[in-house]
């Protein structure tokens, strides 16, 4: 189900008194202690892959972007995926493009700082065995990526949490677009699930994790006009999740005494899915902006604004 971002952001966080009490309990357990350790890249990647197996978000995101890509016509297309991870989502998007564009060139570039993920991204894309698909991948964070070309689409799926400066990142991403190209940012709001991140995750290098509201504010502050926005109502089944999945969900290596209270909190914020089984809502907000086309002047050079 898709609805506007404002609707998802007015949901009470957390969603019940019991959940609020459990969250307070977790705060109390952490009071006066130092930050928990963060996740090493390999356990982050493993926890993430296992989390995705319990969530329906990949299908919702892939379907959403397929709809947006379909509106961009059926000519050649180039996509830059920032924070591509192991490529599980990108390979679905690329495969959809290859099938739909039947023979037209598709260029797909992935960036991720973790070499293990970039290797998997490259292998998954190679397995598509499509001659019209040209793939490149860089082991780099967005700020350092050696990208010297422009794209029709620049995509951040769940990677904007980690950048040092959201506004500067949005501007740089816009610079990597061809005129008329589109920047898409998929990121979670600070809702029930991410309330745990706010309580338990250690700070990143000099900043907390960013959420949807930070991205929306950065769009406004940088003067980049936001296009249509959407929220995808994803659900994740964390009832029987492993400790590694819970570590990924809270973005920290939990200590043994924290797993019980974290599981109790997740139960308290769960809602029944269509099959009646309890699941944790984890909405995904999607922001979009278009790089404007050049403005024709009567005399003098053409400028892009």
Binding segment toward ligand SAM, per CB under 6 A, in 84-92, 223-231, 265-273, 288-296: 84-92
Nearer to ligand SAM, 77 or 166 (CB): 166
Verify binding: residue 112, ligand SAM, rule CB under 6 A.
yes
| 272 vs 211: CA distance, rounded Å | 25
Among 65, 114, 210, 219, binds ligand SAM (CB under 6 A): 114
Q: Binding ligand SAM by CB under 6 A: which of 93, 98, 101, 111?
A: 111
Burial of 270 (0-12, 13-18, 19+ CB in 10 A): buried
Tell which one of 113, 181, 189, 283 touches ligand SAM (CB under 6 A): 113
Q: Could you please report the per-residue DSSP string of 79-113?
A: EEEET-TTSHHHHHHHHHHHHHHTTS-EEEEEEES
| Given 141, 150, 222, 242, the residue binding ligand SAM (CB under 6 A) | 141
User: Of 159-167, 255-263, 275-283, 284-292, which segment contacts ligand SAM by CB under 6 A?
Assistant: 159-167
- Contact between 150 and ligand SAM by CB under 6 A: the answer reads no
> What does the alpha-carbon distance between residue 73 and residue 4 come to, in Å, rounded to a whole number?
25
Q: Report the C-alpha dihedral over residues 111, 112, 113, 118, rounded to 10 degrees.
A: -100
Asked if residue 142 binds ligand SAM (CB under 6 A), the reply is: yes
Nearest to 283 by CA among 213, 218, 187, 166: 187
Residue 82 touches ligand SAM, criterion: CB under 6 A: yes
Residue 110 sits in the site that holds ligand SAM (CB under 6 A): no
For ligand SAM, the closer of residues 20 and 50 by Cβ is: 50
Nearer to ligand SAM (CB atom), residue 72 or residue 139: 139
Least distance from C-beta 130 to ligand SAM, angstroms?
A: 20
Token pair belonging to 96: 């959809």
Whether the CB-CB separation of 54 and 236 falls below 8 Å is answered with yes
In the complex, the smallest distance separating the C-beta of residue 74 from ligand SAM, rounded to whole angstroms, is 25
For position 89 contacting ligand SAM by CB under 6 A, the verdict is: yes
Q: Residue 114 or 219: which CB sits closer to ligand SAM?
A: 114
Distance CA 221, CA 225 (A): 10
Cα–Cα distance between 293 and 253 in angstroms, integer? 46
Which residue of 157, 250, 268, 284 would you call a contact of ligand SAM, by CB under 6 A? Answer: 157
100 in Cβ contact with 130 (< 8 Å)? no
Distances (CA, A) of 211 to 84, 136, 161, 179, 186: 18, 29, 6, 28, 10
By CB under 6 A, residue 83 contacts ligand SAM: yes
Between CA 287 and CA 270 the distance in angstroms is 26
For helices 256-269 and 17-30, angle between their N-to-C axes, nearest 10 degrees = 160
Backbone angles phi, psi at 83, to 5 degrees: 75, 50
Total interface residues for ligand SAM by CB under 6 A: 19
Contacting ligand SAM (CB under 6 A), which of 68, 104, 158, 171? 158
Site string for ligand SAM, 36-75 (x = CB under 6 A): ------------x---------------------------
Q: Which of 88, 122, 150, 242 binds ligand SAM (CB under 6 A)?
A: 88
- Which residues of this chain interact with ligand SAM, rule CB under 6 A? 48, 82-85, 88-89, 111-114, 117, 141-142, 157-159, 162-163
């Amino acid at each position: 189900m898709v609805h506007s971002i404002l609707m998802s952001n007015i949901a009470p966080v957390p969603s019940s008194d019991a959940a609020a009490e459990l969250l307070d309990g977790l705060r109390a357990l952490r009071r006066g202690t130092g930050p928990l350790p963060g996740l090493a890249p390999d356990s982050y990647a493993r926890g993430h892959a296992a989390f995705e197996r319990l969530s329906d978000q990949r299908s919702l995101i892939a379907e959403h972007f397929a709809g947006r890509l379909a509106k961009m016509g059926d000519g050649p297309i180039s996509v830059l995926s920032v924070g591509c991870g192991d490529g599980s989502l990108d390979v679905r998007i690329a495969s959809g493009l290859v099938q739909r564009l039947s023979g037209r060139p598709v260029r797909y570039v992935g960036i991720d700082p973790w070499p293990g993920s970039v290797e998997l991204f490259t292998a998954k894309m190679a397995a598509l065995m499509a001659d019209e698909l040209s793939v490149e991948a860089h082991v780099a964070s967005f700020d350092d990526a050696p990208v010297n070309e422009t794209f029709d689409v620049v995509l951040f799926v769940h990677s904007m949490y980690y950048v040092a400066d959201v506004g500067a990142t949005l501007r740089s991403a816009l610079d990597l677009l061809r005129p008329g190209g589109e920047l898409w940012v998929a990121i979670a709001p600070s809702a029930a699930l991410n309330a745990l991140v706010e309580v338990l995750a250690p700070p990143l290098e000099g900043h907390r994790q960013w959420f949807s509201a930070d991205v929306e504010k950065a769009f406004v502050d940088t003067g980049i006009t936001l296009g249509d926005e959407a929220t995808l109502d994803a659900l994740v089944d964390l009832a029987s999740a492993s400790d590694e999945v819970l570590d990924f969900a809270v973005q920290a290596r939990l200590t043994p005494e924290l797993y019980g209270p974290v599981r109790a909190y997740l139960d308290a914020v769960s809602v029944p899915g269509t099959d009646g089984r309890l699941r944790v809502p984890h909405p995904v907000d999607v922001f979009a902006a278009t790089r404007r086309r050049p403005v024709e002047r009567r005399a003098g050079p053409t400028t892009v604004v």
